[in-house]
Amino acid sequence: MIEVQNITKRYTAKVVAVENLSFQAKAGEIYGLLGPNGAGKTTTLRMLATLLEPTSGTLTVAGFDTKRQPEDVRRTIGVVNGGMGLYDRLTGKEILEYFAGFYNMGKQDTQKRIAELSDALEMNELLNRRASEYSTGMKQKIVIARAVIHNPSVLILDEATNGLDVVARRAVLEFARGYKNSSRVVLYSTHIMAEAEELCERAAIIDHGKLIAQDTISNLKQKANTNNLEEAFFRLTKGVA
């Protein structure tokens, strides 16, 4: 579903955000993209989302090339990060209807999908309230629903729990867990190893734009000779594993 092959993103001769990075994420899994702040995670996700072009290398999403078929890629993905805003004067329902229009969804399909997402994210009390009245956790629920209103086969979550309290954070994790199926994949980017250990089957660890390791979570821990992913991450990125 996601294939990243030898991508490099160079801004200047001295500034290289991502260097020769490769990984693959399959349908039916939650795949972790792990690294400290500044590791190149968000740059990589922006290239997958067609917001940036790689200097070299190729990225494909659900079989579509991000350079040659960007519109097809955009129809296939949903993206959530920790800093997305909402239109304060609109209700949650109006926001979702507005974004459904970008995907040419009919009125009946839109209302059906809103009802499905309302149940999945427990949003019944939000839909008819203006976004200006929402807490941070409430806003993130609408942001997630907005990202998947068109039922994309690829969901990208980029530090999606940043700034959330424990209840809202749990809602995001549970939604990610429930979203994957045999025809969908979730790419979960985070620097919080406890979340990755809970959610992800496999992961790539990157640091300074380079791939450090890629394997199942259990194998990453075994390679670092520890039962804790956070400790494994530290050892692998520091070269002490």
8-state DSSP, 38 = T
Q: For position 46, what pLDDT does the model report?
A: 95
- On whether the CB atoms of residues 216 and 201 are closer than 8 A, the answer is yes
Q: Is the pLDDT of residue 241 over 80?
A: no
pLDDT at 199: 95
Interval 145-158 mean pLDDT: 96
Q: What number is the average pLDDT over the span 212-219?
A: 96
User: In whole angstroms, what is the distance from residue 191 CA to residue 195 CA?
Assistant: 9
pLDDT at 130: 96
Q: Which residues contact 195 (CB under 8 A, 6 or more apart)?
A: 161, 173, 188
Query: How confident is the model over 142-167, as a mean pLDDT?
Result: 93
Question: Alpha helix locations (H) across 77-106?
Answer: 92-102
With cut-offs at 50, 70 and 90, classify the pLDDT of residue 6: very high
Model-level pTM?
Answer: 0.93
For residue 158, list its beta bridge partners.
81, 189
Confidence of residue 203 (pLDDT cuts 50, 70, 90): very high
The backbone torsions φ and ψ at residue 132, rounded to the nearest 5 degrees and listed phi first, read: -65, -20
Cβ-based neighbours of 13, under 8 Å, separated by 6 or more: none
- 167 — pLDDT class (breaks 50, 70, 90): confident
The neighbour count for residue 82, using CB atoms within 10 Å, is: 17
What mean pLDDT is predicted for residues 165-179? 90
pLDDT tens profile 180-200: 998 999 999 998 999 999 999
pLDDT band, residue 240 (cuts 50/70/90): low
In the predicted model, what is the mean pLDDT of the chain?
93
The residues facing 33 across adjacent strands are: 189, 204
Assigned token pair, 209? 């734009």
Of the candidate ranges 49-53, 96-100, 168-172, 229-233, the one whose mean pLDDT is the lowest = 168-172
Give dist(CA 204, CA 29) in Å, integer.
13
- Per-residue pLDDT tens for 7-55? 999 999 899 999 999 999 999 999 999 998 889 999 999 999 999 999 9
**Residue 82 predicted with pLDDT over 80:** no
Confidence of residue 107 (pLDDT cuts 50, 70, 90): very high
pLDDT more than 70, % of the chain: 99
Give me the domains of the chain, ranges plus CATH numbers.
2-82+155-237 (3.40.50.300)
